[in-house]
Amino acid sequence: MLYCICIKCKHSLCCPTNQPTNQPTNQPTNQPTNQPTNQPTNQPTNQPTNQNSNVSEQLEQINVSGSSENINIKEKKVGETQISAKKLAKQQASDSRDLVRYETGITVVETGRTGASGYAVRGVDENRVGIMVDGLRQAETLSSQGFKELFEGYGNFNNTRNSIEIENVKTATITKGADSLKSGSGALGGSVIFETKDARDYLLDKDYYLSYKRGYQTMNNQNLKTLTLAGRSKKFDILVVDTKRDGHEIENYDYKIYPNKQADLRAVGPTREKADPYQITRQSTLIKLGFQPNENHRLSVALDDSTLETKGMDLSYVFRPCKDTSCAETHGERVINDQSKRKNIQFSYENFSQTPFWDHIKLSYSSQKITNKARSDEYCHQSTCAGVSNPQGLHLVEEGGVYKIKDKDNQEFKGSYYYGLTLKNHKDKDVSNDVDTEGGSLDSVLINCEKLNCEGKQFRIYQEKDENWDDKYKYEDRNITIKTLNGKKYGEIPLKKGMPQWDNGPLKEEYARFLFPKSQGYSTDFVNDRDLNTNTQQIKLDLDKEFHLWHTQHQLKYGGLYEKTLKSMVNHQYYTVANVQWWAGNFFCNKPVDGTYPVEHTPAPDYSAYRCSLMNSDKGKDTYLIPVTTKNNVLYFGDNVQLTSWLGLDLNYRYDHVKYLPGYDEKTPVPGGIIAGVFVPFGEKDFVYGSTPPPQGYIDCRYTTPCYQNNVRKNLALLLRKTTYKHHSYNLGLNLDPTDWLRVQLKYANGFRAPTSDEIYMTFKNPQFSILPNTDLKAETSKTKEVAFTFYKNSSYITLNAFQNDYRNFIDLVEVGERPIEGGSTIPYPFHQNQNRDRARVRGIEIASRLEMGDLFEKLQGFHLGYKFTYQKGRIKDNGLHPKYKEFLELNKTDHPEYEAIARKPQPMNALQPTTSVYNIGYDAPSQKWGVDVYITNVAAKKAKDSFNSQWTSMVKRKEKQYTGNIIDIPATKANGKDVKDSRGLWRNNRYTVIDTIAYWKPIKNLTFTAGVYNLTNKKYLTWDSARSVRHLGTINRVQTETGKGLNRFYAPGRNYRMSVQFEF
């Protein structure tokens, strides 16, 4: 492959089209075609596709070896790694886990069924690590600790950071250390910035490109189909990348532990050893259209649309339907349908005319909508469920135009009277307890003629007494009278009527019924359908200018942006029917009308034939979080200054002005019960609770009254306060090149994270756990100090890096005391609030190296070695004893004085990865037709002293104060057979080594085969991120804590394979 270097600016460009090339590229080049993100970087600026003759004269041709990673040591920044599309394809990357598989010091955050949720870098994770795609920040999680404790452990929210389709990625830039300069709020520990592909990446030396790729991987049976089309016609160019992935859950080690499907489905609850069954699909479409009338102007529009869908069953789900701990748990009774949708439409204009103020300017507008949906249906879905019990196997048949109800032997019953209707089957066995002998009366049941064909049909019913009240106990065939309701047909079989019961009294009616099973014929389906929405609009202006001033060279980048983001939640809870059987689906209630005599009836399709119970209830949508609009104004400036041939400076600055504007949508209201009384208590004479009328002299202030709603409005007025955050971010670098083989770099940078809207405004009220909002929260901050020494020659290098990250003002949930919400009330509500408390420090060293063996021995041309290493330590230090320990320590100071030492010591950081090394040895043939890479990943065990169990105070042996005020002794919880005695994490990984082997082969120019064996030695191992995702509370991601049963579900896959084939023209 040929690249050219501009002698004037030292930027990589595509060669002029009259230069020959060895072969087409099968992946986009690693050179940006669009401007980088809105922040200053050292990356090359954009150049017009059609270079003029003057530019061509300044180009010199160089050959770049295909085996090289093409790293320009002079442009590489401290703590920064760029991963190209070519490298991702070579490694067969399919998701965010694969993106960082062979990187050290960065991992993904595991959440269970909702997949990965962002990244963990330098001791922090999720919202504290920035994620951007084409200059746009991606959705943040609801990070309030109160929200996590109340909701996150139950699987009712898809509270994750959305991911990106890897096939769309041109470059992924990983930055470790504070990086608010590029990512803004959130990049405390680092950032991951994605740039998507562009048509010009493929159209270097021709006007069209077509690629079709098929792939398969065994660890989740995922099939990949990707079609890529790029073309240019005169002034227009277009790119289309359409990708579909279809697979299932990742197969853990010993995935085939259960002998058959029946045993698999019976293995439910936290002891389940196999990953829960999900069908996972991702559909992604990237379209970019460009119009370039001449070399100085370019207009473009882009659509990036993707949907990730997960359907399946939470078989490991554990649920206790009542608060009484003696109540039996239900397991596995949840069906899920989650979605993560992202759609971004972007318009941009670029100008390449050189002026005194810019060499290149770009103006862009983006509109991005992200919806993370979690829908769960909780119901018993087996044939043995109580709601569908049918021991006699009753079923509906049609014989000779007559519908009949028969038992499992296709026989009918014999009846008699013995303290009510008694039924016996053809074997003379009493079946009265299995058949509904009290319901099913003809006047209370109607036939659904939309499901059963009632035209010209009869139905065999069972008559106990005739219209004269004489005993009959026999079957009779009756005609069906067809009627309509709202255009829908239904059938009625009227009761026969006899003589009046007394003079002018009501008529006698027969006793006749349908003989249904003694169950409702369906399972009640409790539905939770919850959306987390993040809608962003952004206007961004980027400018860059290169110039000489005296004897110094400058690469100046500056600009700004205006961004508006609306974060909202929509909660839709209701119940309906599922697992519907024939006697519920084909019949419904003829509901009695209250206050009528003789009793009148009205058709009620929403009510079941069994006891006329309501089958569907929907009270509409609400939210637990008020919608908040965030407005962010940004200005930035950066200058890469080359003072001498051996001394350079990076001077970068950014100003953020973040404003939160809370609102209230009456169409999606916040339940008044979690707001009322929070700031403004009810009066002493307000009657708030109770079903009886208020006592004399009291005001009725119950939930539906104007008094209650007035209190809600008063509290809302105090809650909806605007908040503002301002931050000055900087990134200062010093680059020294004392020799042609040594480069020394120093970096000093800071970052910030403004509190999320839920951390500021979330409120919740319950006598056992209440949350107050806090509009006075400070932004979290971080500072990074880093030094790197790079020794290099040609394409070989080794970088030794030492760093220190300091964090301040970590936001945490704090107990703020008890108080009543009603005037004169003695019932205290324990309130909590998010406050700035903690500080932390992380120190570590990193090594990154690559050796091109051809640089040492010409005969070893094509061989390369690589090594990466990260070691880091860190602790969180609270500003004094955390208030949550106060009561616990006071109660236990006599029997367990050691608990105070545990509570006061600095807290380990679970987001720190264990010490990790990655070795790589590979070979690329000089012909570029084949190659192979071997990766060896060695991860140390997570030490007990470096892990933390946030629930330790509720698991150790202790005295505990009950809600009633009584103090009781509670024994220690057992974890994996041992008593919990301190705050160490319960589940940790052991040391493990994993070997992956990946090879590619190009038999012809247009065809590439890639295949790999992952976990070659079939090692059984548990990653630290999976271990720390195991929950001790809630209903999901659980194991049986006492024994450790179920932990196998969290283990990584055993030996697995991937393969792909790509055709390109």
Q: Could you tell me which residue, 65 or 827, shows the higher pLDDT?
A: 827
Last residue of a domain, one of 973, 989, 1023: 973
Q: Which of 891, 1019, 888 is nearest to 951 (CA)?
A: 888
Helix, strand, coil content of the chain in percent (nearest 5):
10, 50, 40
What is the Cα–Cα distance from 408 to 393, expressed in whole angstroms? 4
Query: What does pLDDT average to over the chain?
Result: 90
Whole-angstrom Cα distance, residue 911 to residue 877?
15
Contact 1041, 1024 (CB under 8 A): no
pLDDT band at 44 (very low <50, low <70, confident <90, very high): very low
For the stretch 71-124, pLDDT in tens is 788 888 999 999 999 999 999 999 999 999 999 999 999 998 888 999 999 999
The closest alpha carbon to 471, from 412, 416, 514, belongs to: 416
User: What gap in Å lies between CA 351 and CA 353, rounded to an integer?
Assistant: 6
β-pair partners for 80 = 175
In which band, very low, low, confident or very high, does the pLDDT at 216 lie, cut at 50, 70 and 90?
very high
C-alpha–C-alpha distance, residues 126 and 108, integer Å:
9
- Given a cut of 60, whether residue 67 has pLDDT beyond it is no
Please give the Cα distance from 1027 to 1021 (Å, whole number): 10
Give Cα 699 distance to the centre of its chain: 46
3-class secondary structure, 529: strand
What residue type is assigned to position 220 of the chain? Answer: N
Quick: pLDDT tens for 246-264: 999 999 999 999 999 999 9
- Written as six digits, the tokens of 736 are 């020294």
222 neighbors 251 (Cβ within 8 angstroms): no
pLDDT-wise least confident of 110-124, 835-849, 872-886? 872-886
Whether 455 maps to a domain, the answer reads yes
State how far the Cα of 504 lies from the Cα of 502, in Å rounded to an integer.
Answer: 6
Which range has highest mean pLDDT (369-383, 678-692, 929-943)?
A: 929-943
Q: What is the pLDDT of residue 962?
A: 83
DSSP 8-state code for residue 856:
T
The pLDDT of 874-893, averaged and rounded, is 89
Which pLDDT score, from 0 to 100, does residue 749 have? 97
pLDDT confidence tier of residue 830, bands split at 50, 70 and 90: confident
The domain boundary residue, chosen from 934, 958, 973: 973
CB 912 within 8 A of CB 874: yes
SS3 for 80? strand
Determine phi and psi for 90, rounding to 5 degrees: -65, -35
Whether the per-residue pLDDT at 1024 is higher than 90: the answer is: yes
C-alpha triplet 882, 886, 891: angle, nearest 5°? 150
Angle at CA 17, nearest 5°, toward 11 and 20? 100
**pLDDT band at residue 882, thresholds of 50, 70 and 90?**
confident
In this prediction, residue 825 carries a pLDDT of 67
Phi, psi of 404 (to 5 degrees): -135, 150
Please give the Cα distance from 578 to 277 (Å, whole number). Answer: 20
User: Looking at the domain assignment, is residue 459 inside a domain?
Assistant: yes
| Amino acid letter for position 839 | R
For residue 994, the model assigns a pLDDT of 98
How many helices (H) and strands (E) the chain has is answered by 13, 58
Give me 171's structure tokens: 């470059």
Confirm whether 607 is domain-assigned. yes
Which tens digits make up the pLDDT trace of 152-164?
A: 888 889 999 999 9
In sign, the C-alpha dihedral spanning 756, 760, 764, 770 is positive
Q: Would residue 961 count as lying in a domain? A: yes
Bond preceding residue 259 cis, omega within 30 of 0: no
CA 41 from chain centre, in angstroms, equals 30
User: 599: helix, coil or strand?
Assistant: coil
CA 440: distance to chain centroid?
A: 47
Contact 909, 840 (CB under 8 A): yes
Say how far apart CA 687 and CA 696 lie, in whole Å: 10
Whether the predicted pLDDT of 787 surpasses 50: yes
* Structure confidence at residue 69 as a pLDDT band (50, 70, 90): low
Residue 1028 C-beta-side C-alpha neighbours within 13 Å: 27
Give 336's DSSP letter: E
Which of these, 842, 813, 795, lies nearest to 755 by C-alpha position?
813
- Indicate whether 454 belongs to any domain: yes
Q: How many CB atoms lie within 10 A of CB 52?
A: 9
Contacts of 29 (CB under 8 A, 6+ apart): 3, 12, 14, 84, 201, 204
Q: What are φ and ψ of residue 696, in 5° steps?
A: -60, 135
Model confidence pLDDT, tens digit, residues 711-726: 999 999 999 999 999 9
DSSP state of 183: H
d(CA 533, CA 620): 18
CA–CA separation, 688 and 708 (whole Å): 8
User: CA nearest 542: which of 385, 698, 359, 700?
Assistant: 359
d(CA 360, CA 856): 41
Share of the chain above pLDDT 70, in %: 92
pLDDT at site 707: 94
Mean pLDDT of 796-801: 96
Only one residue has tokens 């069994």, namely: 610
Q: Sort 658 into a burial class: Cβ within 10 Å, 0-12 / 13-18 / 19+.
A: buried
Give 929's Cβ-side CA count (13 Å radius).
Answer: 4
In a domain, residue 724? The reply is: no
- Residue 1065 identity (one-letter amino acid): F
Enclosing domain of residue 490: 392-516+586-614
Of 4 and 1005, more confident: 1005
Spatial CA neighbour of 1032 closest among 974, 977, 992: 974
pLDDT for 14 equals: 42
What is the tens place of the pLDDT at every residue in 464-484? Answer: 999 999 999 999 999 999 999
Residues, the chain, total? 1065
- Using the predicted structure, report yes or no on whether residue 601 has a pLDDT greater than 50: yes
**Predicted local confidence at residue 323, as pLDDT:** 55
Residue (of 534, 592, 525, 529) closest to 563 by Cα position: 534
User: At which of 973, 989, 1011 does a domain end?
Assistant: 973
Interval 121-134: pLDDT, tens: 999 999 999 999 99
The pLDDT of residue 22 is: 38
For 297-359, list the strands marked E by DSSP.
Answer: 297-313, 318-319, 330-331, 334-351
pLDDT digits 0-9 by tens, 188-201:
999 999 999 999 99
Distance CA 849, CA 797 (A): 5
CA 75 to CA 936: how far, in whole Å?
28
* pLDDT average, residue stretch 315-325: 73
Whose tokens are 């930027």? That residue is 11
Tell me: pLDDT of 49 over 80.
no
Rounded Cα distance between 402 and 662, Å, is 64
* Residue of 870, 977, 1000 lying closest to 924 (CA atoms): 1000
> Which segment of 353-357, 838-842, 866-870, 964-968 scores lowest on mean pLDDT?
964-968
For residue 429, being part of any structural domain is answered with yes
DSSP 957-996: SEEEE-TTS-EEEEPPPEETTEE--SSS-S--PPPEEEEE
Instruction: Give residue for tokens 């990356």.
Output: 43
Maximal C-alpha separation, the chain: 120
Task: Give the residue carrying structure tokens 């949720």.
Answer: 117
Could you tell me the pLDDT band of residue 709, with boundaries at 50, 70 and 90? very high
Q: Would the pLDDT of 794 be above 60?
A: yes
- Give pLDDT, residue 598: 86
Instruction: Report how many domains make up the chain.
Output: 2
Contact 347, 365 (CB under 8 A): yes
Residues 6 or more apart whose Cβ sits within 8 Å of residue 442: 461, 493, 494, 495, 512, 513, 514
Q: Return the sign of the alpha-carbon dihedral for residues 718, 720, 726, 727.
A: positive
Whether the Cβ atoms of residue 443 and residue 601 lie closer than 8 Å to each other? yes
Q: How confident is the model at residue 149 (pLDDT cuts 50, 70, 90)?
A: confident
- pLDDT for res 38: 40
Please report, for residues 145, 1029, 1031, the alpha-carbon distance to residue 153 in angstroms, rounded to integers and kept in the order given: 12, 11, 7
DSSP letter, residue 35: -
| Contact partners, residue 936, CB within 8 Å, separation at least 6 | 918, 919, 920, 993, 994, 995
Banded pLDDT at 267 (limits 50, 70, 90): very high
505 lies in some domain: yes
CA 624/CA 668 separation, integer angstroms: 10
